[in-house]
Structure 1
Amino acid sequence: MRGFRAGLVGAELVRLGSHAVYRLGAPVIVRIARDPDSLEEMERAVRVARWLESEDFPATRVLAEVPQPSVVGGRVVTFWESAQEREEYATVEELADLLRRLHWLEEPESLGLPYFDPVAKLWKGLESLDAVAEDDRKFLEERAGKLAKEYDRLDFVLPFGLIHGDANIGNVLRHRDGHAIMIDLDDFTLAPREWDLVLTAIFYDRFGWHTRSEYEAFVYRYGFDLMNWPGYSVLADLRELMMVVWLGQQVSASTKSAEEFARRINSLRAGNDRRDWKPF
């Protein structure tokens, strides 16, 4: 434990979300899970990383010389190769290319991937909202209940199979050699492929974080426009709500998160435009 802490001295904090992500002096990324019960999930992420490497798929690589994952001070820790010395995002076209290639892969049973149940994940998140106002919690629960019924009636059209689970431009980085790679492999699961397209769609359609030309390029490269699918609005509403609930779990740890949570839930209540939402 003392040696691990010493290794973090002078480390650069890259991200703070479900994981605290640090870049060490050497080209190494350390990810420390916030959830102390995430050992099984991270064991699966390591298996996924090693399998993707065996498939020569462009993704973040886990360090081979370090036991993975490790448990340090009750926290689950993993070590990864750093893409480059600074964080540089790839393009939406490259995201589309990676997703199309990923969705063609046939995963081995040895990965032990679970089936994705977005409603169950949403309710689990709602149970963790211990620092939000009771009326906010009740509003979110009522909205979740309504969307759960609508989700059960969806008729998906893309093949069911392997997905990234959190596919968006923030999880595609530029490698130091120039090519794009996928990162954050924790949410790999088996699900309708529409789930891997919905974030890019709402980043354009609802939040204005992508331009029209960027979204059209994404659609062209992937080969399917989710916004033309009849179930899009339900999937978008559900994914949007999951984003709000996730942020609600951070309100006690960050004033910035609390302010953004208040902005988002107020816009949901009033049915306002989402274009003042800030990326997290």
Structure 2
Amino acid sequence: MSAAVQSRHILEAACRQVGLPAEGAEPIRIAGNAIWRLAVGIVARIGRPDAQAVAARELAVARWLTEEGISTVRPAVTDRPVVVDGRPVTFWAELPPHQPGTAADIAALLKQMHQLTPPDALGLPPLEPLAKPRRRISETGLLSPDDRRWLQEHADQLTADFARLPAGLPPCALHGDAWDGNVAVDADGTAYLLDLENTCYGPPEWDLVSTAVKHLTTATVTAAEYEDFCATYGVDVTAWPGYPVLAGIRELRMVTFALQIADEHPHARAEAQHRVDCLRGRKGARPWTWTAVP
């Protein structure tokens, strides 16, 4: 059964549980998380297997940010995930017509979020940025033994370096996957923060490094856009001594995400191997040209 067909079956079962029609639902993205647009102004998000706690926290974080005056996606229909075949399904109010945000938009939202004190009830976990890459390296079927061994050793070194990060900004609530693709701006100019499943607690530099990496590693954020990002937030994370460590972790996450996607989407295999080759120094110096994977 293809990922899309399996995802639709889960969607239909979840919709039956909450009394929503699944007829006419259209996929927005079928990847690690599957996202569907229903015909009734609701967006359904299907999480990974056994990620119920993550989905429940995502709903709680959305409610907290909304109460604090930060524009974000809002839960709809139910405040708890619906679980089908071990996969949590959450429902969200569809945003008004919008377009992708800019680097400055994500900087403004991060600045607001980082100034908040998260309630203990949220139970935000500490930042563990290497857990996903390690799992992906172990599980992917695409790596040669040599590449797998190298990536595992690289992750080991980054883990040790992360434990010795130099002092930086005070720790705070983090978005966890803060890049301009997780911001949407409507026709009135309101910017919405999206994709809250990685929210955690830790060094704010982690939320800043994604945009810096898009500038310095993949050149998909221009110098002018990065300057706007730094001016809006008030900090240039590349000037911090810990930047190379967090940038290395972010790059590894981008590489292993492509490996994960390529396991399910064969057309992404060449891109996944290309990213591995870049990280291993086979494709020259940064910036590298990476193509988006679904």
- Structures share a fold, TM > 0.5? yes
TM superposition shift of 1:22: 1.2
TM superposition shift of 1:271: 5.5
Could you tell me which amino acid in structure 2 is paired with residue 141 of structure 1? Q
**Given the superposition, is the C-alpha separation of residues 192 and 67 from structure 1 closer, same or farther in structure 2, using an over 3 Å criterion?**
closer
* Corresponding residue number in structure 1 for 2:193: 182
Alignment partner of 1:12 is 2:23? no
* Corresponding residue number in structure 2 for 1:239: 250
**Contact map agreement 2:56 2:80 (CA 8 A) in 1:** yes
Instruction: List per-residue Cα deviations over 1:168-227 (Å, max 9, x = no partner).
Output: 000001135430010101011001000000000010111111110000000001000011
Q: Which residue among 231, 248, 254 is the counterpart of 2:265?
A: 254
> SS at 1:62's partner residue?
coil
TM superposition shift of 1:67: 4.9
Alignment partner of 1:78 is 2:114? no
TM superposition shift of 1:57: 1.3
Instruction: List per-residue Cα deviations over 1:52-93 (Å, max 9, x = no partner).
Output: 122121111111x335211124321011111134x5111211
Could you tell me which amino acid in structure 2 is paired with residue 202 of structure 1? V
* Corresponding residue number in structure 2 for 1:41: 54
TM superposition shift of 1:32: 0.8
Q: Which residue among 64, 89, 104 is the counterpart of 1:51?
A: 64
* Corresponding residue number in structure 2 for 1:170: 181
**Contact map agreement 1:202 1:236 (CA 8 A) in 2:** yes
Rounded to whole Å, the distance in 2 between the matches of 1:104 and 1:66 is 29
Could you tell me which amino acid in structure 2 is paired with residue 14 of structure 1? I
Work out the number of aligned pairs and report it: 277
Q: Which residue among 196, 209, 230 is the counterpart of 1:198?
A: 209
Rounded to whole Å, the distance in 2 between the matches of 1:202 and 1:241 is 11
**Given the superposition, is the C-alpha separation of residues 37 and 130 from structure 1 closer, same or farther in structure 2, using an over 3 Å criterion?**
farther
TM superposition shift of 1:276: 1.3
Deviates more, 1:208-217 or 1:171-180: 171-180
**Given the superposition, is the C-alpha separation of residues 143 and 271 from structure 1 closer, same or farther in structure 2, using an over 3 Å criterion?**
farther
* Corresponding residue number in structure 1 for 2:122: 111
The within-5 A match list for 1:87-126 is: 88-126=99-137
Could you tell me which amino acid in structure 1 is paired with residue 93 of structure 2? E
> Structure 1: which 5+ runs fail to align?
none
* Corresponding residue number in structure 2 for 1:29: 43
**Contact map agreement 1:116 1:189 (CA 8 A) in 2:** yes
> Structure 2: which 5+ runs fail to align?
1-11
Rounded to whole Å, the distance in 1 between the matches of 2:245 and 2:127 is 17
Rounded to whole Å, the distance in 1 between the matches of 2:195 and 2:251 is 19
Alignment partner of 1:153 is 2:164? yes
Could you tell me which amino acid in structure 2 is paired with residue 201 of structure 1? A
TM-score by length of 2: 0.88
* Corresponding residue number in structure 1 for 2:6: none
Deviates more, 1:97-106 or 1:153-162: 153-162
**Given the superposition, is the C-alpha separation of residues 12 and 176 from structure 1 closer, same or farther in structure 2, using an over 3 Å criterion?**
farther
Could you tell me which amino acid in structure 2 is paired with residue 124 of structure 1? R
Rounded to whole Å, the distance in 2 between the matches of 1:233 and 1:184 is 25
Seq. identity, %: 36
Alignment partner of 1:62 is 2:75? yes
TM superposition shift of 1:274: 4.2
Give the aligned CA root-mean-square deviation in angstroms: 1.9
Rounded to whole Å, the distance in 1 between the matches of 2:28 and 2:65 is 24
> SS at 1:252's partner residue?
helix
